[in-house]
Structure 1
Amino acid sequence: MNLTITGHHVEVTAALRDYVTSKLDRVIRHFDNVTSVGVILSVEKLDQKAEVTLHVRGKDIFVEAHNGDMYAAIDAMTDKLERQVQKHKQKLQDHHHDALKHQATEE
């Protein structure tokens, strides 16, 4: 998995990099098919923004979160991302289950 962390109008310190990495590891352990992850941390006036694009086989998942604190924005972003990944994983499992059920009824 390739992880890219960039900052717009903010310096990505080692502490921010470690925090993002630890939060994303928690999310990515739910799903094995992740090919690359791109994280952009940005500051616009008083608003801190964290956004992530997760590339998985068959889909790209994009999530962004705004907050007054960068760490809180990262927390909100990973919470949203975790829900999206679980939703995508559930859809994959449901479609696979439906295909097996359809195949069994044809016989």
Structure 2
Amino acid sequence: MKINLSGHHVDVTDSVKQHVDEKFAKIASHFPTLISLDVTITKEHGEFEVEVRTNYEGASVAAKGTDPVMWPAIAAANKKLDAALKHRKGQLKADKHAKPDVTAPEIAYEKVQEMNLN
């Protein structure tokens, strides 16, 4: 999986790249059809915001984590993206199950009329 990492008002160093790769490695193993992630780290007003976007099975999935420290913000975005991908995967699996046919319940009155009570 390719990770496109960019920073806005943040220097993206090798240690930041390595940390992001380590954090999102689990997602790559759980969702092998993911091709790429777009990760943007922004710092505004003393708070880091990490935004992650990807396409999964035809749908755009995004997650955002914020924290005054960069590392917990990356972890929060990772956790939210994992939850969003699991939700999307569940939706796709639910569509494959056969839906039961709706049948009208039998009314007790009709059953009594059919019975031979003599």
* Length-normalised TM-score, structure 1: 0.86
Structure 1 counterpart of 2:82, which letter? E
Corresponding position of 1:17: 17
Query: Can you give the 5+ residue segments of structure 1 that lack an aligned partner in the other structure?
Result: none
Higher helix share: 1
Corresponding position of 1:95: 95
Corresponding position of 1:59: 59
- State the structure with bigger RCO (CA 8 A, min sep 6), 1 or 2: 1
Corresponding position of 1:31: 31
Structure 2 counterpart of 1:48, which letter? F
1:71 & 1:3 partners in 2: Cα distance? 17
Q: Is 1:47–2:60 an aligned residue pair? A: no
Corresponding position of 2:86: 86
Q: Supply the RMSD in Å over aligned alpha carbons.
A: 1.6
The 3-state SS of whatever aligns with 2:12 is: coil
Corresponding position of 1:74: 74
1:29 & 1:91 partners in 2: Cα distance? 20
The 3-state SS of whatever aligns with 2:30 is: coil
1:43 & 1:28 partners in 2: Cα distance? 26
Runs of 4+, deviation exceeding 3 Å: none
Structure 2 counterpart of 1:78, which letter? N
The 3-state SS of whatever aligns with 2:35 is: strand
- Would the aligned equivalents of 2:6 and 2:12 in 1 still touch at CA under 8 Å? yes
The 3-state SS of whatever aligns with 1:29 is: helix
Alpha-carbon deviation of 1:65?
Answer: 1.1
The 3-state SS of whatever aligns with 1:32 is: coil
* Length-normalised TM-score, structure 2: 0.79
Query: Can you give the 5+ residue segments of structure 2 that lack an aligned partner in the other structure?
Result: 102-118
Rg larger for: 2
